[in-house]
Amino acid sequence: MATIHDVAKRAGVASITVSRIINHSGYFSQEKRQRVEAAIVELGYVPNRLARGLRSKRTNILALVLTDITNPFFTTLARGVEDAASDAGFIVIFCNTDESETEEQKYLQVLLQQQVDGILLVPTRSTSDSIEFIQKHGTPVVVLDRRLPSNAKVDVVRCESVDGAYRLVQLLIGLGHRQIAVLSGPKIVSTAEDRVIGYRQAMVEAGIDERLQLVSYGAFTQSSGYEMAQQVLNVNPRPTALFAANNLIAIGVLKAVRDAGLRVPEDIAMVSFDDLPANLLTSPFFTVAVQPAYEMGQRATQLLLARLTGEAPEHCQEVILPTDLIIRQSSGQARN
Amino acid sequence: MATIHDVAKRAGVASITVSRIINHSGYFSQEKRQRVEAAIVELGYVPNRLARGLRSKRTNILALVLTDITNPFFTTLARGVEDAASDAGFIVIFCNTDESETEEQKYLQVLLQQQVDGILLVPTRSTSDSIEFIQKHGTPVVVLDRRLPSNAKVDVVRCESVDGAYRLVQLLIGLGHRQIAVLSGPKIVSTAEDRVIGYRQAMVEAGIDERLQLVSYGAFTQSSGYEMAQQVLNVNPRPTALFAANNLIAIGVLKAVRDAGLRVPEDIAMVSFDDLPANLLTSPFFTVAVQPAYEMGQRATQLLLARLTGEAPEHCQEVILPTDLIIRQSSGQARN
DNA sequence: TTGTATGCGTTATCAC
DNA sequence: GTGATAACGCATACAA
């Protein structure tokens, strides 16, 4: 393959001049620019980014490490990241951890070896271990979607999980429900925990007997939602409303409810966190608290890029975006 | 950051010895291995893959360039690629072209600069331009999902689109349908074309008047499916069955049918290519021809890796996998 | 089994 | 405006 030297020779200039022209850096004359560009085309020259990165210490690559790219919430978030990164001339590497700490560590190791310029991380655990590992290597990092212990000195972009959950449950209570169950994700994940906290707040505030609180922890998956719902539907007295802590859980719950011969919302009401994309559902049905996934990705990327260029303020930022309540059929009408 | 030299100094060996121990290449004593490993931990040493790649000419990175990562078919395919690559010690970069030739070119340029070891490409166009561009740079490439003109000397892994479409339409004909419309993707994409060809074969073979053939080309998206269905539902006489050429089109079609006040399958039957994942639908409904997406990704990756190591035979291979017919409610019962 | 010298392709630094 | 030189961190080639 042709190198920068080949181009330089062919154009009758020094290689550093070619470099300047390729990178639009420093001074060069239009005449040489034309000669160099012609040589590049003739030789089919493709710059070697490995060499460039080795020398310049910048790769123009960001990494997005998340837990489940098949979840439309994260797919949308990833789009936000990619668009913001692309605008700034960066490409993005996506990594999928499946909520596995081991996978997370494996990927972080590889990404640091790869000398990525920055990392956007949806952490699998609520500890600062991974963050410290990354920061020890000197690579900027922004945490997405989840809280970390306050000793972690890192930027965070996430949503109002507590408030979103609070408002969803408040809605159900306003419709006359008292026996409301929450079906959540892994207890170790902050969003799962926060949505339960919001649920408890609404229940307590409504003066509902604490013994009526029904909390289930599982995974943020359809199958886990199915299993948790099966359990909860056997509780006596049966809850009149279910709160699914994310979209995939909601689908599993809906399936379990229907398999039990019940209808939503006639026999049992439902609300959920996170919407499902219009292109995968035949008609929107769930009453949901929607997180601005795309904006979350965008904001986090902008923050990361600001860190890279040193534009960001010294201290760490925590950006907390609001959720949006969308009321559809699944929550049903008021009961008496 | 610590370099291989720092590790070597600390362990009291030459850097090349550290290199050998890291890469498990060549000979080294257990004693030095322990000293080196200790030094690596103490210094928090992370090998620089840029430097390694520059020297060794191998990055252990593959790239998967596809048209729509939000389509569950491609998500599954991507998993197959990632698993196969990961087993062989490669990481995968995913790139999304949105069926845009410009995006495709942009990404290929970047990937070649990045010195990826190989590329898996779902081409946006049925020309060999992109393939030639990649091959000119000396990078192995395997084409996925789509046909290319026969002058392209490249490995291909794809599915029996013609046959799958043929069997779906044959099924409808067997149920008594005569007025069947096909709603397909971009005419320029081979899978869209092949599914129309299979449709025509079945129609002709059943001796159905050619004037009853109803073919619509659009995009492989939900919105395009919606629009095409709206058009087709206004044709007089209205078709009694619709064949959607992929899963996203099917969802759009279903929505248009329902918006028109019609029921599937009672008023109009439906079949489709590609399944939707169980975790995104409340209950499987569509009669479909399923492509083994995961296996496609796996096979293509194995083929690419074989090319990298020179294990593959000289001549190009075309792997064509069969589709699986799954009959559910949307195709309905036999008519008289 | 271990080490020395060298170069991968590019850009930072300094000089003209 | 342009160029010579060195260096980035590592692995290949060869030697011991």
Residue B220 lies in a domain: yes
Q: Which residues of chain B from 209 to 248 reach within 8 Å of chain A, CB to CB?
A: 221-223, 248
Looking at residue B70, what is its pLDDT?
80
**pLDDT greater than 90 at residue A277:** no
Give the mean model confidence (pLDDT) for residues B158-172.
98
Chain A interface includes B320 (CB < 8 A): no
Q: What is the mean pLDDT of chain A?
A: 94
Residue B336 lies in a domain: no
A175 and A265 together in one domain: yes
Q: Is A335 helix (H, G, I), strand (E, B) or coil?
A: coil
Looking at residue B282, what is its pLDDT?
56
Has this prediction a pTM greater than 0.85? Answer: yes
Q: Cα separation of B160 and B181, whole Å?
A: 20
CB closer than 7 A to strand D: which residues?
A 13-17, 20, 26-29, 31-32, 51, 54-55; B 1, 3-5, 15-16, 19, 22-23, 25, 47-48, 51-52, 54-56
Q: Give the closest nucleotide to A115 (alpha carbon vs C1').
A: D9
Strand duo A155-159 + A318-321: pairing: parallel
Domain extent at residue A93: 58-159+293-322
- Summarize pLDDT for A7-56 with one digit per residue, the tens: 999 999 999 999 999 999 989 999 999 999 999 999 999 999 999 999 99
Q: What percent of chain B has pLDDT over 70?
A: 98
Q: Which residue has the higher pLDDT, A313 or B259?
A: B259
Residue B155 lies in a domain: yes
A150 and A166 together in one domain: no
Question: In chain B, which residues have their Cβ closer than 8 Å to the Cβ of A50?
Answer: 50-51, 53-54, 59, 114-115
Give the mean model confidence (pLDDT) for residues B121-127.
94
Q: What percent of chain A has pLDDT over 70?
A: 98
Q: What is the mean pLDDT of chain B?
A: 94
CB contact under 8 Å between B114 and A50, yes or no, is: yes
Residue A167 lies in a domain: yes
Residue A52 lies in a domain: no
The residue count of chain B comes to 336
Q: What are phi and psi of B168, to 5 degrees?
A: -65, -45
Which CATH number goes with the domain that contains A14?
Answer: 1.10.260.40
Looking at residue B336, what is its pLDDT?
62
B173 and B282 together in one domain: yes
For residue B185, which of B158, B235, B226, B225 has the smallest C-alpha distance?
Answer: B225
A185 and A215 together in one domain: yes
Looking at residue B313, what is its pLDDT?
80
Residue A228 lies in a domain: yes
Chain A interface includes B322 (CB < 8 A): no
Instruction: Please name the residue that has the structure tokens 């994409």.
Output: B189
Q: Give the closest nucleotide to B45 (alpha carbon vs C1').
A: D9
Residue A106 lies in a domain: yes
Among the residue ranges A277-291, B167-181, B243-257, the one predicted with the least confidence is A277-291
**pLDDT greater than 90 at residue A283:** no
DSSP B238: P
Within 10 angstroms of residue B267's Cβ, the number of other Cβ atoms is 14
Residue A65 binned pLDDT confidence (cut-offs 50, 70, 90): very high
Total domains, chain B:
3
**pLDDT greater than 90 at residue A183:** yes
B133 and B246 together in one domain: no
- Summarize pLDDT for B20-75 with one digit per residue, the tens: 999 999 899 999 999 999 999 999 999 999 999 999 999 999 999 999 888 889 98
| Sequence-ordered list of residues with C-beta below 8 angstroms from that of A82, at least 6 positions apart, any chain | A92, A297, B96
B236 and B257 together in one domain: yes
Chain A interface includes B261 (CB < 8 A): no
B19 and B63 together in one domain: no
Question: In chain B, which residues have their Cβ closer than 8 Å to the Cβ of A44?
Answer: 136-137
B195 and B99 together in one domain: no
- Summarize pLDDT for B277-325 with one digit per residue, the tens: 766 665 678 999 999 999 999 999 999 999 998 887 889 999 999 999 9
B106 and B38 together in one domain: no
A171 and A267 together in one domain: yes
Question: In chain A, which residues have their Cβ closer than 8 Å to the Cβ of B223?
Answer: 279
The chain B residue lying nearest A83, using CA atoms, is: B96
Residue A53 lies in a domain: no
Q: Is B163 helix (H, G, I), strand (E, B) or coil?
A: helix
Which CATH number goes with the domain that contains A276?
Answer: 3.40.50.2300
Residue A154 binned pLDDT confidence (cut-offs 50, 70, 90): very high
Q: Which residues of chain B from 85 to 114 reach within 8 Å of chain A, CB to CB?
A: 91, 93-94, 96, 109-110, 112-114
Chain B interface includes A25 (CB < 8 A): no
A93 and A153 together in one domain: yes
Q: What percent of chain A has pLDDT over 90?
A: 88
Query: Smallest Cβ distance to A113: which of B49, B137, B252?
Result: B49
B197 and B135 together in one domain: no
Looking at residue B1, what is its pLDDT?
83
Chain B interface includes A43 (CB < 8 A): no
- Summarize pLDDT for A82-127 with one digit per residue, the tens: 999 999 999 999 899 999 999 999 999 999 999 999 999 999 998 9
